[in-house]
Copies of this chain bind each other. A is one copy, B any other.
């Protein structure tokens, strides 16, 4: 088990209405596992102060790291920063360096009241710089506050992840087979029981028009030094049951 855990809070009515497909949590998830941080939960919540406060307090207590996306722009529906200030009972103030960065970025006269809101955050926040459109995110306690626009969020995330404490990456191997899930289920269960330091996931897929299908078997472990014994047992089992197998 990695000693570092994480939760992601996706903030935005546009995700809950189905208007936007969230891709930020998948991007963060993929990177966390590589960095040895165990993502425990993702939640998508609406742009509502009380909901944001409750969830941030809850996740901040439960996990080593919390990542939020969305709601830090200049409009009235961007309420993440002030909600997080309230969550931690911290003053919601203009961050001097953030103000300077934004003031420099915009043409003279364009740094208006709405844009100045983007420099406000909980007192004591550390900036997460935004090399694309200037408006920074911030870190307060164990919460990393990021924008919702994927291109900008990604570049900021890849920068911040370099500087946080991580565990040993999770080992992962995927074995593909043409056998159906139900053919191998009972055998896989036994292999899972034999190697209880690993986790074996079984992900079927179907190509319904071609009437083909198969399973991707994902073996992973936070603790084992090698997955090879588990992988060998699974491949043997597939062979014994007349299937084809390959590492993907």
Q: Which of B44, B112, B151, B218 contacts A206 (CB 8 A)?
A: B151
Residue of B nearest to A185 (CB): B114
Known: A114-B186, A151-B206. A15 touches B41 (CB 8 A): no
Interchain CA distance A208-B132 in the complex, whole Å: 8
Inter-subunit contact A114/B200 (CB<8 Å): no
Which stretch (A16-24, A84-92, A136-144, A156-164) binds chain B?
A16-24
Q: Complex Cα distance A86/B214, Å?
A: 31
- A189 sits at the interface (CB 8 A): yes
Q: A14 is contacted by which of B22, B114, B184, B203 (Cβ under 8 Å)? A: B203
Quick one: CB contact mask for A13-47 with B, threshold 8 Å, 1 for yes? 11111111111011111111100000111111111
A73 to chain B, nearest CB (A): 6
Return chain B residues, CB-CB under 8 Å to A188: 75-76
Which label, helix, strand, loop or mixed, suits the secondary structure of the A interface?
mixed
Q: Which residue of chain B lies nearest to A192 when distances are taken between CB atoms in the complex?
A: B76
A199-B74 contact given A45-B41, A218-B19, CB 8 Å threshold: no
* Distance between Cα atoms of A66 and B26 in the complex (Å): 23
Question: Do residues A74 and B182 form an inter-chain contact, with CB atoms below 8 A?
Answer: yes
B40 in contact with A41 (CB, 8 Å): no
Are A76 and B40 in contact, CB atoms less than 8 angstroms apart?
no
The docked-state distance in angstroms from the alpha carbon of A25 to that of B44 is 10
**Interface 1/0 per residue, A177-200 and B, CB below 8 Å:** 000011111101100100000011
Interface residues of A (CB under 8 A from B): 13-23, 25-33, 39-47, 73-78, 110, 112-115, 117, 132-133, 149, 151-152, 170, 172, 181-186, 188-189, 192, 199-206, 208, 218, 220
25 A-B residue pairs with Cβ-Cβ distance under 8 Å, sorted by A, are A13-B201, A15-B29, A17-B170, A17-B172, A17-B220, A18-B27, A18-B29, A19-B30, A19-B203, A19-B218, A21-B23, A25-B44, A41-B44, A43-B44, A74-B182, A75-B185, A76-B192, A77-B199, A77-B202, A110-B182, A112-B182, A112-B183, A112-B186, A115-B182, A149-B205
- Give me the 6 closest cross-chain CB pairs, A-B, nearest first: A18-B30, A114-B185, A18-B29, A76-B189, A75-B202, A42-B44
